[in-house]
Amino acid sequence: MSVMRFAVTPGEPAGIGPDLCLLLASNAQPYPLIAITSRDLLAERATQLGLAVALHPVNSLALPDTPAPAGTLYVLDVPLAAPVVAGQLDPANAQFVLDTLTRAGEGCLAGEFAGMITAPVHKGVINEAGTAFSGHTEFLQALCGAEQVVMMLATRGLRVALVTTHLPLREVAEAITQARVERVARILHQDLKDKFGLSAPRILVCGLNPHAGEGGHLGREEIDVIEPVLERLRAQGLDLVGPLPADTLFTPKHLEHCDAVLAMYHDQGLPVLKYKGFGAAVNVTLGLPIIRTSVDHGTALDLAGSGKVDTGSLQVALETAYQMAEAR
**E strand residue ranges, the chain:** 6-9, 33-37, 54-58, 72-77, 115-118, 150-155, 158-162, 202-206, 239-244, 260-263, 282-286, 292-295
* Count of C-beta atoms within a 10 Å radius of residue 218: 16
State yes or no: 211 annotated in a binding site: yes
CB distance 11 to 119 below 8 Å: yes
DSSP letter string over 158-182? Answer: EEEEESS-S--HHHHHHH--HHHHH
State yes or no: 127 annotated in a binding site: no
State yes or no: 274 annotated in a binding site: yes
Instruction: Tell me how far apart the alpha carbons of residues 316 and 287 are, in angstroms, rounded to a whole number.
Output: 20
CB distance 164 to 281 below 8 Å: no
**Strand pairing partners for 163?**
none
Instruction: Tell me how far apart the alpha carbons of residues 158 and 320 are, in angstroms, rounded to a whole number.
Output: 13
Instruction: Tell me how far apart the alpha carbons of residues 39 and 13 are, in angstroms, rounded to a whole number.
Output: 11
State yes or no: 283 annotated in a binding site: yes
Omega of the bond leading into 168 within 30 degrees of 0 (cis): no
CB distance 24 to 312 below 8 Å: no
CB distance 287 to 314 below 8 Å: no
State yes or no: 292 annotated in a binding site: yes
State yes or no: 311 annotated in a binding site: no
State yes or no: 189 annotated in a binding site: no
Q: Which residues define the annotated binding site for substrate?
A: 136-137, 274, 283, 292
- Give the residue ranges of the annotated binding site: 136-137, 166, 211, 266, 274, 283, 292
User: Which residues are annotated binding-site positions for a divalent metal cation?
Assistant: 166, 211, 266
